[in-house]
Each structure stands twice: as structure tokens, then as C-alpha cells.
Copies of this chain bind each other. A is one copy, B any other.
Amino acid sequence: MYKCSLERMTDKIKTFSKYGDAGHGGITRYSLSEAALQARAEFRKRMEAIGAIIEVDDVANMYATLPGSDPEAKRIVMASHCDSVKNGGNYDGILGVMSAMEVLETVAAEKIPHKHPLTAMIWTNEEGSLYPPAMMCSGIVCYDFLPEDIRSKFKYEDMMKSVSILDQKSTFGEALAKSGYQGDKKYRLSPEKYQYMFETHIEQGPILEDAGNDIGIVDCVLGMFNYRVKFYGQTTHAGTFPMPKRKDAFLAASKAICYLHEKIDALGYPELVYTTGEVVCHPCVHTCVPDFFEFSFDARHEDPEVLEKVLDIVKSCADMDWGGCSCEVTKAWNRDTVYWDKKLVSYVKEAAEELGVSHQYIHSGAGHDAQFAAYMLPTTMIFVQSKDGLSHCEPEYSSPEHCTEGASVMLGAVLKADRD
């Protein structure tokens, strides 16, 4: 039974945390930025040091491959991303890349025999923090395999024109051309060349920590829907319009938020999560009654019937009177639950058991590149415990010990898959 190296993993965490260091414990490392290119150079250097072959596809996805003993065998790939959100932490995404590197380094150092070529991979622009959307380059690469309504959002030409949220001008296509990482389309991940995909990631939630388990055996990415709930009132002057005649869209939305929490919580599904994270208020002036207020509504659960019940409640807002304001409920998008490959999930579970690592089954509430890859290849994920469940912020933390355990579990699972 092989184990990854705590010392090597600790060194990688320390090294990669420098690229995009924002100076107070976290990083800002937009895809294809100077900091992201430094991380890619580090990846290349370390992978070349163990004899891996580097390939880069046309959207800068990077592949480092150790050949296997069977020249006919397809590759097994371990992938995640090295870009971050603004003022993000040192683990989201990059832990999956470091874990893949660590697996290859362990295989090389311990001369572990393997039949299949093993590939560590970096997905470009998973966060979409600078150039939306998120999961852009897995969307492009898996395009032909995605369901129609998801696919339509990842047209190659549209993605190249995605505009920087910072300058509202420069495009992803320009950043790609300038990066020096625009390789060849023939190197793209494909079912012809690749057999399985694994992704290790931090949990980004508190479930493992609360349960006292180090590792999560992820079985699915939760289905979800995203709607917009809009209220239309009448703007009037703050000083001149009597209260009973007002149609205040913000008051309407506030009442609706309270109503939604009451009704949805009464359904009694402890695993359901729902979020109203984005708001728009108009005219948003302290001397005007708002005539428009909108919030996003994101709900996630494994069971589509549960989501259906929640959606019914959300939709019921449109039929109610909100103090003279009308309400409109519109669909933004949804996705079905994506189940990981059962055989790969069982490999991960067996590996965790053999290593004696505390573990449990868990769903992924967040989206990951792996879920697009799953439409193309048998795929699964491994979660590593997150401190306080925090992510997409600077206090995001997973201990080097847990990170190394995650890599060891992935190594064990990959070696089981290698026997197929």
C-alpha cells in the first residue's frame, strides 16, 4: 500500500500559495494572469523533473503524462484548476492539481508499476472570475457530450469573446493568445485517449469536519435550479408619498424572503440548501421608494422531486399580492444531479478503507469541471476536509496531513483503476 509524501505536499502548498499571494493569507489568481502562468511554470518544472510529457491543448488545458507499461492502454487523468476567485484561498482547485502531481511524483519516486499512462491535468478558467462563465474550458472540451441546454452556453466562439469583468474590454481569446499557452486541439481530453478521470477537491463545506472525517467519497454533484424573483412597484419620493399608497418593491422582496424561508424550511429536508445571493434594486437611491427589486434563488438537492417542491413554493410568489407590487418568477438555468461512476466511487472507498483514513459518502453541492467530464468519461471526485467549511475566501484551509491523505486515497483508487 503506497502513501503520498507529507513533506512533498507541504512544500507544494507553500510554493503554489506564493503565486498570486494577496498579502493576507490568500490569493487572487485569475486564469491566465501572471500569477496563474507562474503556477503553470511550476507545474511544468516539477512534472518534467519526473519525466512526464507536457502537452497543452488549444484552450491552454495542460497535461503532464507518465507513460504506462501497456502502449495500448488509455490514460487515467487526475485534474483540477489553478485559477482562483478574487481574494480566494490556497486550496480551491489547486489542491486537485497538487494531488495529481503528488500521485505522479509518488509513482515516479517509488517506481510503482502501472499499465495505463497517468496524467496530471490543469483545467483553464474553472472559476470564470475574470472571464465568465465558470467551468469554461471543460465546457469547451466536453461540448459534444453535454446536454443541449448546458452546451449552448459554452460555444467556442462565444467563449473567446468573453469580456474581462475588470476592464470590460479585453477578451478571454486575447488573454489566451498572449499567454503562450495556446496549444493544439489534438491534445484535448477525449474518450479516445482517456479512460477515467479523478478530481480531488476541498469540500468547501463543514460536513466532514463536523462528522470528524478526513475524506469524502463523493457520489454525485447535486442537481440544482437557479431562478430570478422580481418585484415591480412604483417609485415615489421618500418625503412626499403617504405610506398606505406606496408600492415598495424592496419591502415586497423582504416579505417574500421571509415567506420563502418559512415555507421551504417547513418541507423538512435537512440536506436541501437554497441561497438568495444576488440582488438588484432600482433606482437604489435613499430618497426614492424602490420600484424594482430582484433576487436570485439557487436551490440544490440530490432528489429532483424535492427540487420540484421547492420550485413550486418559489413560483407561488408570482400569484401573491405583495403590498400592491407584482411578482415575476423566471428561470435562469438548472441542471440534473450528476452521479459519479459507481465503479470509480467504489475504488475510492476501498482505497480509503485500506489506508485507514476516516471517510464518509458525501454529495458535492458545488459545481466542478469533473461534472462536465462525467458526460464524456467515467469520472469521480474525492473531497478533503475544509476547516470551518470556509471557501472562496482567504481563511480557506485544509491541513497538509488531510491534503496528503486525499492524494494517497486518489493514488490508491487510480492504481485499482489501472488494473482495468
Name A's B-contacting residues (CB within 8 A).
Answer: 203-207, 222, 224, 226, 234-243, 245, 248, 250-251, 253-255, 257-258, 261, 265, 270-279, 281, 283-290, 295-296, 298, 300, 332, 364-367, 389-393
For the complex formed, measure the closest distance between the CB of A225 and the CB atoms of chain B, giving whole angstroms. 11
How far is B287's CA from A254's CA once the two chains are assembled, in angstroms?
Answer: 19
Chain B positions within 8 Å of A242 at CB level = 205-207, 270-271, 273
Q: Is the CB of A204 within 8 A of B240?
A: yes
Contact of A277 among B258, B261, B290, B392 (CB under 8 A): B290
For the complex formed, measure the closest distance between the CB of A238 and the CB atoms of chain B, giving whole angstroms. 4
Contact of A279 among B235, B239, B248, B250 (CB under 8 A): B250
Q: Is the CB of A393 within 8 A of B241?
A: no
| Given contacts A236-B390, A296-B286, A392-B235, A241 and B205 within 8 Å (CB-CB) | yes
How far is B188's CA from A143's CA once the two chains are assembled, in angstroms?
Answer: 70
For the complex formed, measure the closest distance between the CB of A413 and the CB atoms of chain B, giving whole angstroms. 22
Contact of A237 among B205, B236, B272, B296 (CB under 8 A): B205
For the complex formed, measure the closest distance between the CB of A239 and the CB atoms of chain B, giving whole angstroms. 3
Q: List 24 A-B contacts (CB under 8 A).
A: A204-B239, A205-B237, A205-B240, A206-B245, A207-B242, A224-B239, A236-B389, A237-B365, A237-B366, A239-B273, A239-B365, A240-B365, A240-B389, A242-B270, A243-B265, A243-B270, A250-B295, A255-B257, A275-B289, A277-B289, A277-B290, A278-B285, A286-B296, A286-B332
Q: Is the CB of A237 within 8 A of B204?
A: yes
Among A239, A265, A295, max chain B CB count under 10 A is at: A239
Q: Is the CB of A245 within 8 A of B389?
A: yes
Contact of A392 among B271, B288, B295 (CB under 8 A): B288
Q: With A251-B257, A279-B284 given, can you name 5 additional A-B contacts, CB distance below 8 Å? A: A236-B390, A240-B365, A242-B273, A278-B285, A287-B366
Chain B positions within 8 Å of A272 at CB level = 243
Q: Is the CB of A366 within 8 A of B239?
A: yes
Smallest CB-CB separation from A362: which chain B residue?
A: B240
Smallest CB-CB separation from A393: which chain B residue?
A: B235
Q: Is the CB of A203 within 8 A of B240?
A: yes
How far is B265's CA from A333's CA once the two chains are assembled, in angstroms?
Answer: 39
How far is B241's CA from A273's CA once the two chains are assembled, in angstroms?
Answer: 7
Query: 4 nearest interchain CB pairs?
Result: A239-B365, A205-B240, A238-B275, A254-B257
How far is B277's CA from A390's CA once the two chains are assembled, in angstroms?
Answer: 32
How far is B241's CA from A205's CA once the two chains are assembled, in angstroms?
Answer: 5
Chain B positions within 8 Å of A289 at CB level = 275, 277
Chain B positions within 8 Å of A245 at CB level = 206, 389
Chain B positions within 8 Å of A239 at CB level = 204-205, 222, 224, 273, 298, 300, 364-367
Q: Is the CB of A261 within 8 A of B265?
A: no
Contact of A287 among B240, B248, B277 (CB under 8 A): B277
Chain B positions within 8 Å of A281 at CB level = 278-279
Chain B positions within 8 Å of A255 at CB level = 254, 257-258
Q: Is the CB of B298 within 8 A of A287?
A: yes
For the complex formed, measure the closest distance between the CB of A369 and the CB atoms of chain B, giving whole angstroms. 15
Q: Is the CB of B285 within 8 A of A238?
A: no
Chain B positions within 8 Å of A287 at CB level = 275, 277, 298, 366
Chain B positions within 8 Å of A366 at CB level = 237, 239-240, 287
Q: Is the CB of B207 within 8 A of A391?
A: no
Chain B positions within 8 Å of A222 at CB level = 239
How far is B392's CA from A237's CA once the two chains are assembled, in angstroms?
Answer: 7
